[in-house]
Structures are given as structure tokens and as C-alpha cells.
Amino acid sequence: MKIIKQIAPSGKNSMKSLTMELESLIYTVISAQYPVNWDSGAVTRSLFSGMKQLFDNKIIRTPGNAIQTSWRIKRLKTDPEKILGDIAFLVQIAYHDGQVVRGAALLDTALKDPGKNTFSSLNKNRIKKLTSTASHASLLLYDYDPICGMAFPSTVESIIGSHPHTWNSWMPYTYAATVPAGLMMSIDNKTTGLYKISLPLSYQLCYRYLYGLDLDHSVASLETAAGLRPDRGIMKYLIMISISHGGAEPLTSFDYNDKLYTDFE
């Protein structure tokens, strides 16, 4: 089953083809975990291990550009009490014009409850602390049913798919979607009603994070993501991505707390 439909082939390692492969990976991971082992940690580890294999040391072809990515994925060595959230992206981007940016994305994960439309594991107190550290913090929602009705722009087919004959013949759907944490707190919803303000994880990664969008750049968010300020809280998983655009020299050295984190594959 292909999750985002109508994606026209555009060459190996194009952004479109990798988006399609990532959606297939998400579907494979979710279908393997539910219902036998419906556990957020198990889903996250399996998913991001597969994402590293998919994106690490890849040159991604886009119109007029080439993006090179290098991935390192870490998990906590132990389970400390002061967990702030589940996933931290620590991103370093070198643009084609020589400018460099460092950013962080902090996410908390939640599974849809079996047989229901709720995400009961969402903890508002934890989410509030997360957003106080990172204003762009997000929730990553996993669902065993297709997620649709998302907050896509009306011309989404020109971004990640081919042009349909009619709008009714095409609808994007996924099994992992991101929701702005602050917006979730504002509408006070812990159900699938959150999907109206969501984007597919594949879109958020490939068309936002890889370009430096929706990241936090404050010292507090960067240090928290890297585990350098455990007094503020610790993230369970650390995903470090080096990105270079247009042949720029990639930044491969990361400053993080190696006493807290160890590799996982």
C-alpha cells in the first residue's frame, strides 16, 4: 500500500521518491507494531532506525538544488526521572551561499488508543513545559488507521504529488502526523480532531526541517535538545542531522552530552 497517492516518479533519491519511501516505511512500522506491540518507544525506535537508513549519506535531488544529509541517532543510556519529551532533532544546515544555521525541534509522541479516537497519553503539564522551552515544539501522533483531513495547502499535489484529474480523485493520508504543541494546548483537544491542524511527518521532515523551517534557535532549546542542560529536562531520543545545500561543506561535528546518550540502530 502506498500512503501518499499519485506521486509521479522523478528519479532515484529525488525528494518525491524519498517522501514516498518514508511513507511506506511509516506504514510498515505501524502495521508491524499494532496491535501486538503498540508501544510508543518501540514505534519510535523502529521508525527512526529506518529513517536513518533511508536518509543517511544521501544526496537528495530537488529542482535546482541538491541536499546532502548525514544522520546520527541516539537514545538515553538510562531512564532518568526528569523527562521533558520524547524526540529531539538537533539540526545543522549549511546553505549554498555560505550561511549556517543551527536549530532544534522538540517533539512528544502519542499513540492513538486502541479502538478509540483519543490520545490519552498526552500530558498537558509536560506539553506546557515543552513549549516553554521550545516555541515550535510539536506532537508526533501515531495512528493504526489512516490519518486524513490534515492541514495541507490547497495546492499540495504540486508539492508532493502529481496533478489529479479532479480534486476528489486524490487525498493525502499517512499514519504519523505532527501537530504544533502550542496550538494543541490552545484548542484543548486530545482526540483525532487534532488532525485538522496536522501535517504528515514525512512532509514536516522533507519540506520543513531539511530547509531550516519550524526549528527553534534559542540557546535554551539547543542545549535542551543536546542534553547539555539536564536540569531543564531531558529528551529520550536525540536525532542529529547534518544538512548541506547546493554543495556546501557539511557541518558534521555536534556538541551534545555523550554521557547521557548512546547509539541505537
Q: What residue ranges do the domains of the chain occupy?
A: 15-249
Relative orientation angle of helices 15-33 and 40-55, to the nearest 10 degrees = 150
Among 25, 82, 113, which Cα is nearest to 236's? 82
Phi, psi of 135 (to 5 degrees): -65, -25
Per-residue pLDDT tens for 125-161?
Answer: 999 999 999 999 999 999 999 998 898 754 444 444 4
Per-residue pLDDT tens for 78-110?
Answer: 987 789 999 999 999 999 999 999 999 999 999
Q: Number of H helices and number of E strands within the chain?
A: 7, 9
Q: How far apart are CA 214 and CA 208, in angstroms?
A: 7
pLDDT of residue 11: 64
pLDDT of residue 111: 98
Residues of the chain below pLDDT 70: 1-11, 153-171
Q: How far apart are CA 138 and CA 178, in angstroms?
A: 6
User: In terms of DSSP H, where are the helices of the chain?
Assistant: 15-33, 40-55, 124-133, 157-160, 181-187, 201-207, 219-225
Query: 112 vs 39, 81, 193, 250, CA distance in Å?
Result: 10, 24, 12, 38
pTM as predicted: 0.90
